[in-house]
Structure 1
Amino acid sequence: MTRLKPRMNKIACLTLLFCGLMLSASAQKNFKYQAALQKINSTGFYRISLQPALVAKAKADLSDIRVIDAKGNFIPYIQAGSLPQKDQKSFVVFNQVDARLSTDTGTTFIVENKTGLALDRLWIKLQNTAVQRKVNLVGSDDLKQWFAIQEDVPLQEAVVNSEGTYMQSLAFPTSNYRYLKILVNDKNKAPIKFLQAGVYTEYAASLTYMPITPVQISRTDSNKTTYVTIKLNDNYQVNKLHIDITAPKYFKRDVMVYQITGRDKQLLGEAELNSAKPTDLLIAAKAGQLLLQISNGDNLPLTIKGIEAYQSDESLISYLDGKQTYKLLAGDASVQAPEYDLKFFADSIRDDIPQISHEAVQKNTAYQTKQKKAGRDYTVFIWIAIIVALGLLLFLTLKMTKEVSKKAGKEKD
């Protein structure tokens, strides 16, 4: 028995290591794209800026983005918008609105954004809970017609404290809807208790945007209406459109913004183009083509010199080792948002951490290999190897048990 025990421990460790490596390698092959992270010189927290080219390859909620090191290990991160705000004085509580619809299922919580600010984060205060729920966030300007903003956002479990409440940040594409509704998927379950929701004005006012290029536009004028088609070379996340209007000097036109996906046309929102204020349209789109429908009335069509598209700043916070190299993975529609312990230590992250970015987005070579050899999918063989290894471990365990039993029987005799 003394000889078998070290051997069994060694086999068990090797088996677990082998299984871990196989599963990690298999998981990485499901991501279509990769981008090397900028080299760092010291260990610590870093803010990783996500460029439009990478966000275009990821899911709309960015849940399929992963940070990995040179050994293939997934590195924990949190979205930068989830960091708690230090200045509580700048927190504005939104008024709660009672406007539950008969079609709503589950708990609803509706608030009014009277600030007029474009938001990509909403902080909600909840009674402490340890249950797992997901919420959908929708927006409206009239409490009648609602538009999807973000779906299946997981609610975090409460952090241990003595207050009985906790704050969570909901991240979503930049929007300027007047009303925001949180719909909890808790049908036939005990409801979640929302206490309040609001925004840190200093954070909202400091939103920054990244340009998306190239932008191709075409237009047609007919029946007192101008149609402007905006084409991008990928399914970019678009949060702002700047329209350069050179004539006439005074104008005030209604505009409707649509997202085009194949043959589907989805209304993103309605706005106003006014010569008295910046001609920026704040939207939340994930598409390669948009359509502007401008109502001219009895006026001449607007002279549009050009249109610029922007993505709101998206970034991750991660603790990186200065001696390691890292890269980002994206492009796996089947994965869910990761759950890392790092979210419970957000208070330890300073505001002035260094910012890094990533290099050009490339196809993940592991995924390419898998695609080219469509007739030779080695996933089955990997699982067979794992099963064989586990079977060998079980066989040796049973053998050791029998020998121990025989030895114990002989000692009794």
Structure 2
Amino acid sequence: MKQFSSLILVFISFLGFAQNYKGEIRNIKEEGLHQIQLSPEVRAAANENLDFLRLFDVNKKEVPYVISNFKGESTRYNAFQIISKNSIKDSITSIIIENETGKKINQFNLNIGNTALTKRYSISGTNDTIAWFGLVANETLSDLVAKNGTALEKTIYFPVNDYKFLRIDFNDKNSLPINVQAIGLYENQFLPEEPIEVKVFTYKIIEDKVRKVTQIVFSADKKYQIDVISFSISTELYAREARITRREEIKNKKRVTIRDGILSSFLLSSKMNSKIIVDNLNEKEFTIEIENKDNQPLAIKNIQLFQRPITIISKLKTNEKYEIVIDSTFSKPSYDLANFVQSFSIGMPKGTITNFQKVEKAEIKSTEKSFWQTQLFMWICIVLGGGVVAYFAFGLLKDMKNE
């Protein structure tokens, strides 16, 4: 009986979780493939799960789409030429590669031999191998054990650039070097548009003089994916350790303890780029803590949050109206369009999502009702529900008599 009750609770919870949102795509000027950028609001409504997303035409027929950062199994890996690889014992390993294509890039894939180590790294760029300019600093590379085989691939991101040479410096002070076997890009990886600013967060700055830290507390109405944090700081010379934390509940028997869990850490430095790339930050509330030590707090003028854009590609008709829907009861779709992703060009026209909003239950209408939407299905559920209640009631009475 307890197991059956648990199943009922899970089912009720699932229904309670269901969320529906919809928006419109209008003013299509030409027929053909279009790029449709998903706004932070759309992605937050889907909780970053695009299995919940559907596109419908005016006749409520499903319109196929494909996510533009799709990476199929048949794509070809193009390795960059490694100009040099130097290791200084107990210090750093520096790897310099050449971007022979001259194209703008913001990522590459590392082929790494299996290791249980976690590595800190920095990336810089140059056009002459003399004057180097910082791109990212003190980032973390972890989870380097492959599920199969003796090597794995890791994608690392950095600000968009077209430097002819790029250098990765791995920190080897606490462990031996890792085995980077190749660095390159997949053929179908292309440069996305500029990061989208996420403007829904508010933040407040708190100075903790006892702990000698500056706390910046962010909050929003729901979880949003954050990939880049940009700082505007007027202090001239600084180098501060910082970390991103969130409140976590630790349950131990009957007690619940709340603590600050560390999501990631980074270095804020006047020598480096003020845009910090972060991983796995998808929160409703989080805090940035900056270690001041015996220094005065940083003079922070502004902080902006960004996310890397996600675009879907779909074939749209001229002057047609489309509806985009987020429904948490949907499962992952499978469309033929995904088989042609490698032939897509980047310069295709764009569609824009407008009037995106939550759908109230009273608004949900359908021209053709499914069986589960009919009165017959409702009465079947009522009868079955009554039977379940009666079963538990008689079982409870029987247990009371036995006692």
Q: Does 1:319 align with 2:322?
A: no
Change (3 A) 1:201 1:340: closer
Q: Does 1:363 align with 2:377?
A: no
After superposition, the C-alpha distances for 1:127-185 in whole angstroms (9 at most, x for unaligned) are: xxxxxxxxxxxxx9364799xxxxxxxxxxxxxxxxxxxxxx99x99789999xxxxxx
Superposition pairs for residues 220-239 of structure 1, below 5 Å? 220-222=206-208, 223-239=211-227
Q: Which amino acid aligns with 2:113?
A: V
Q: Which amino acid aligns with 2:66?
A: I
Report the Cα distance in structure 2 between the residues aligned to 1:98 and 1:259, rounded to whole angstroms: 31
Report the Cα distance in structure 1 between the residues aligned to 2:122 and 2:239, rounded to whole angstroms: 22
Report the Cα distance in structure 1 between the residues aligned to 2:156 and 2:109, rounded to whole angstroms: 20
Report the Cα distance in structure 1 between the residues aligned to 2:169 and 2:331, rounded to whole angstroms: 29
1:255 maps to which residue?
A: 242
Q: Which has the higher strand share?
A: 2
Q: Which amino acid aligns with 1:275?
A: S
> SS of 2:51's equivalent?
coil
Give the counterpart of 2:185 among 169, 179, 199. Answer: 199
Superposition pairs for residues 158-177 of structure 1, below 5 Å? none
2:301 maps to which residue?
A: 305
Q: Which amino acid aligns with 2:214?
A: T
The percent identity for this pair of structures is 18
2:374 maps to which residue?
A: 381
Report the Cα distance in structure 2 between the residues aligned to 1:360 and 1:178, rounded to whole angstroms: 46
2:199 maps to which residue?
A: 213
Change (3 A) 1:259 1:114: same
Report the Cα distance in structure 2 between the residues aligned to 1:380 and 1:368, rounded to whole angstroms: 13
Contact 1:215 1:232 in 2 (8 A): yes
Contact 2:215 2:287 in 1 (8 A): yes
Give the counterpart of 2:289 among 289, 293, 301. Answer: 293
Superposition pairs for residues 12-411 of structure 1, below 5 Å? 32-82=20-70, 88=78, 94-99=110-115, 116=123, 141=140, 143=142, 198-199=184-185, 208-222=194-208, 223-247=211-235, 249-260=236-247, 265-283=260-278, 284-332=280-328, 334-365=329-360, 367-369=361-363, 379=372, 381=374, 384=377
Q: Which has the higher helix share?
A: 1
After superposition, the C-alpha distances for 1:336-379 in whole angstroms (9 at most, x for unaligned) are: 322211111113322211112111311225x44469xxxxx993
Change (3 A) 1:238 1:174: farther
Report the Cα distance in structure 1 between the residues aligned to 2:321 and 2:259, rounded to whole angstroms: 42
Change (3 A) 1:264 1:210: farther
Q: 1:54 Cα shift?
A: 1.3
CA RMSD across the alignment: 4.4
Report the Cα distance in structure 1 between the residues aligned to 2:213 and 2:311, rounded to whole angstroms: 39
After superposition, the C-alpha distances for 1:101-143 in whole angstroms (9 at most, x for unaligned) are: 9xxxxxxxx9x997849xxxxxxxxxxxxxxxxxxxxxx9364
> SS of 1:361's equivalent?
strand
TM-score, normalised on structure 2?
0.58
> SS of 2:42's equivalent?
helix
Contact 1:99 1:143 in 2 (8 A): no
After superposition, the C-alpha distances for 1:14-68 in whole angstroms (9 at most, x for unaligned) are: xxxxxxxxxxxxxxxx651011013203221000011112111112232211111
Q: 1:207 Cα shift?
A: 5.3
Report the Cα distance in structure 2 between the residues aligned to 1:200 and 1:347, rounded to whole angstroms: 11
Q: 1:240 Cα shift?
A: 1.2
TM-score, normalised on structure 1?
0.57
Q: Which amino acid aligns with 1:250?
A: L
Q: Which amino acid aligns with 1:141?
A: T
After superposition, the C-alpha distances for 1:51-101 in whole angstroms (9 at most, x for unaligned) are: 112111112232211111112122111111126889957696523221269
Report the Cα distance in structure 1 between the residues aligned to 2:375 and 2:115, rounded to whole angstroms: 53
Contact 2:78 2:187 in 1 (8 A): no
Change (3 A) 1:196 1:318: farther
Report the Cα distance in structure 1 between the residues aligned to 2:242 and 2:193, rounded to whole angstroms: 24
Q: 1:273 Cα shift?
A: 0.2
Contact 2:240 2:291 in 1 (8 A): yes
Contact 1:255 1:292 in 2 (8 A): yes
Report the Cα distance in structure 1 between the residues aligned to 2:362 and 2:247, rounded to whole angstroms: 29
Contact 2:371 2:377 in 1 (8 A): no
Contact 2:238 2:270 in 1 (8 A): yes
Contact 1:36 1:326 in 2 (8 A): yes
